[in-house]
Amino acid sequence: MSAKSVGGPAPAAWLAIAGLLLVVAVPFAAVVMQSIFPELGQGSFAKPFSSFIATLNDGALIGMAGNTVLLGFCVVLASAVVAVPLGVFRALYRVPGAALFDVLLLVPFMIPPYIATLGWIMTLQPRGYLQQLLGFNLSPFLFSLAGMTMVMAFNTFPVVYFAVSRTVEAVGARYADVGRVFGATPARAFWRITLPLSAPGLAASLMLVFAAAIEEYGTPAALGRRAGFQVLVTGIDLRISDWPIDLPGASIMSLLLVGLSIVTFLGQRWILARRSYQTVNGKPTAKDKRPLGAMKWPVLTAFIIVSFLATGVPLLSILATAMSRTISGGLAFDNMSFDNFLQVFQNSAGALGALANSFSLGIGTALITGLIGVTAAYTVVKTKIRGRLAIDSLTIIPNALPGIVVAVGLILAWNMPWLPATPYNTPFILLLAYCCILLPQTMRYSTAAFQQIGDNLEAAARVFGASGITAFRRILLPLVFPSLASAMLLVFALASRELVASVVIAPVGMQTIATFIWRQFEQGSIGLGMAMAFIAILITTLLPLLLLALLRRSGLVAE
């Protein structure tokens, strides 16, 4: 099991450490310093720790922390209930139209949560699209914990669906078949063999969902406040946007969130540390899937319903709003037009520049997080160097840091007067922010992939004379590449729509897709904002699909 003898971890480890220090440690250190020294922004170290008591004594804090955890668990549960069965069927059986469903279930990733939430509000509120079409509304349901859970779960469950379908597929039916040969029933073989072996992927994805749910701002802000449901992130945002600004208080509350995330992460590690999950060992696996038989129609119906709710409803609502001349005109034929789309293409309010900015930043972020993520994951899983846990934990932190706090940390760190050169007020500060926020994605996916690769593969390469770097590049990298590539595509999509940090930290005069949409909403041009959102969703969905198709043709990605 030891990889020490395999050697050659140094270059990967150093690259990972340098990247992590720059991307994660710097802003995080600034946040910690800010929480300790309230006047850090003015460059003063006076009154250390003076903000802790006031912040932690706030009676509302416990309620907010409790709500945060409750919401996180509800979203994880709902995502798992929706995604795990679908993922398992997708992996083990021939689902008709599986490729199409993969695309449809990919789209929710690409819909920014605040846009999806607004889409749901405009559909379900009184006189919303549902009532205009069918005569009833679901407003009481939407503005409740249940409604919030539904909207957020439909946004995040694809993380679980794709993780489960990929890992279960990798585990394959082969191990379960062995169980069957020895007399296990199909159900028993699934519960005792397939599911446990898929645990790394499942646990990693559920953890990402939990971290995303406790860090999410848009949905709790739009739905929760009306239900009297305040979470830590909305509390943090209030401290930052309510004059007088309370940066130390916000930093302290963020550290609480980080603590929550680390606990989840340690729990996940504990589950995984108890046994080995290596299933990729160089032996050929049969990829033939079973026919669904009598289950065909129920399974197909489930896929259709979930796709419609997760992708159809928000997209249709966004499209309807984007095409409405006036919101008060409603779904009437003479109220429909393409004016808002035309405005985007005529570069109204800098729309095209915003698209170009966001997509360049998205590509840059995907490449950088991919590189740091894969080297860090390799260092953590496949080497025995000291401080592995520290590296692993460092990649967890951004998961829980709210975007707005990352932004503040970056300003504090990079706007210090004595710095000879700084990325602040250049597009690079956005790149740093996105890399920090999204690094956990590539890191977690690559870690799960590395955990499934047997050490004997790398060892075999070394035996045949390959150097450590060659073994990494020729053996390990191709094996984790499918996971890494999908994580990088996800990062691209998430980076090109990031809102919360961008609003605060964008260099002067620069717009991104999300800040453009947000400004349109603020000024009451909901239709124009939605048209931009629709175009952005379309591009972020089609671009990665095109890329995947090209990669497949070139044989880099199997399937």
Partner 1 sequence: MFKSLKSITLGAVAAVLMAGVAHADITVYTAGPQSLIDKMSEGFTKETGIKVNVFQATTGKVMARIEAEASNPVVDVLISASWDTATDFEKRGWLVKYSSPNAAKVPDFLKSDYAVAQGISALGIAWNTKSGTPKPSEWADLTKPEYKDMVNIPDPAQSGSSFELTAALAGQDDFKLFKDLQANGAIIAGANAEALNPVLQGAKAAVFGAVDYITLAAAKKGESVEVVFPASGTVIAPRPAMILNSSKNQDEAKKFIDYMLSDAGQKMVAAQMLMPARSDVAADRPLISDLKLLKFDNAAVYGKRKETLGEITKIFGGK
Catalog residues that contact partner 1 under the rule CB under 8 A: 40-43, 60, 63-64, 67, 118, 121-122, 125-128, 137, 139, 221-222, 225-226, 228-230, 238, 240-245, 247, 325-330, 349, 363-364, 367, 371, 404, 408, 411-412, 415-417, 425-428, 503-509, 519, 521-524, 526
Q: CA 462 from chain center: how many Å?
A: 36
Question: In the bound complex, what is the minimum distance in angstroms from residue 34's beta carbon to partner 1?
Answer: 9
Cis peptide before 85 (omega within 30 of 0): no
Question: Least distance from C-beta 330 to partner 1, angstroms?
Answer: 8
Minimum CB distance to partner 1, residue 46 (Å)? 13
User: Are 258 and 233 within 8 A, CB to CB?
Assistant: no
Closest to partner 1 by CB, 288 or 334:
334
**7 Rama sector, left if φ>0, alpha if ψ -120 to 50, beta otherwise:** left
- Residue appearing with tokens 């078949």: 177
> CA 174, 175, 178: angle at the middle one, nearest 5?
90
Instruction: Give 179 or 427: the residue with its C-beta nearer to partner 1.
Output: 427
Residue 357 beta carbon to partner 1: minimum distance, rounded to whole angstroms: 11
Q: Which is nearer to partner 1, 200 or 403 (CB)?
A: 403
535: nearest Cα among 365, 363, 340: 340
Closest distance of CB 355 from partner 1, Å: 16
Q: Quick check: 103 and 545 in contact, CB under 8 A? A: yes
Q: Based on CB atoms, which residue is closest to partner 1, 189 or 501?
A: 501
Specify the residue, 196 or 330, whose C-beta has the smaller distance to partner 1.
330
Min dist CB 208 to partner 1, Å, is: 24
Tokens describing residue 444? 């977690």
For partner 1, give the closer residue by CB, 240 or 255: 240
When the beta carbons of 285 and 425 are compared against partner 1, the nearer one is 425
CB of 112 to partner 1, least distance (A): 16
Nearer to partner 1, 130 or 197 (CB): 130
Q: Which two tokens stand for residue 391?
A: 């590296």
List the alpha helices (DSSP H) in 220-338.
232-241, 247-273, 296-307, 313-323
Residue 245 DSSP code:
P
Q: Which is nearer to partner 1, 456 or 523 (CB)?
A: 523
In this structure, is the dihedral angle defined by the CA atoms of residues 243, 64, 260 and 224, taken in order, positive or negative? negative
Query: Least Å distance between CB 88 and partner 1?
Result: 33
Distance, CA of 274 to CA of 486 (rounded, Å): 27
Q: How far is the CB of 135 from partner 1 (least distance, A)?
A: 14
CB of 229 vs partner 1, minimal distance in Å: 7
Q: Which amino acid is at 123?
A: T
Scored b (16 or more CB within 10 A) or e, 186-225 reads: eeebbeebbbebbbbbbbbbbbbbbbbbbbbbbbbbbbbe
Q: Smallest distance, Å, CB 376 to partner 1?
A: 17
Rounded to the nearest whole angstrom, what is the least distance from the CB of residue 119 to partner 1 in the complex?
12
Nearest distance from C-beta of residue 415 to partner 1, angstroms: 5
Q: What are the distances in angstroms from CA 518 to CA 115, 330, 484, 505?
A: 10, 22, 31, 14
Gap between the Cα atoms of 258 and 442, Å rounded: 19
Short-list 224, 226, 248, 244, CA closest to 234: 224
Of 104 and 484, CB closest to partner 1: 484
CB 494 within 8 A of CB 359: no
Within 328-387, residue ranges assigned H as helices are: 339-345, 351-382
Report the Cα–Cα distance between both ends of the chain, in Å, rounded. Answer: 30
3-state secondary structure of 194: helix
DSSP annotation of 244 reads: S
Q: Which CB atom, from 467 or from 523, has the smaller least distance to partner 1? A: 523
- Residue 336 β-bridge partners: 324
Q: Which residues of 97-134 are buried (b: 16+ CB within 10 A; e: fewer)?
A: eeeebbebbbbbbbbbbbbbbbbbbbbbbeebbbbeee
Choice between 329 and 387, CB closer to partner 1: 329
β 290-291/93-94 pair status? parallel
Query: Which is closer to partner 1, CB of 306 or CB of 504?
Result: 504
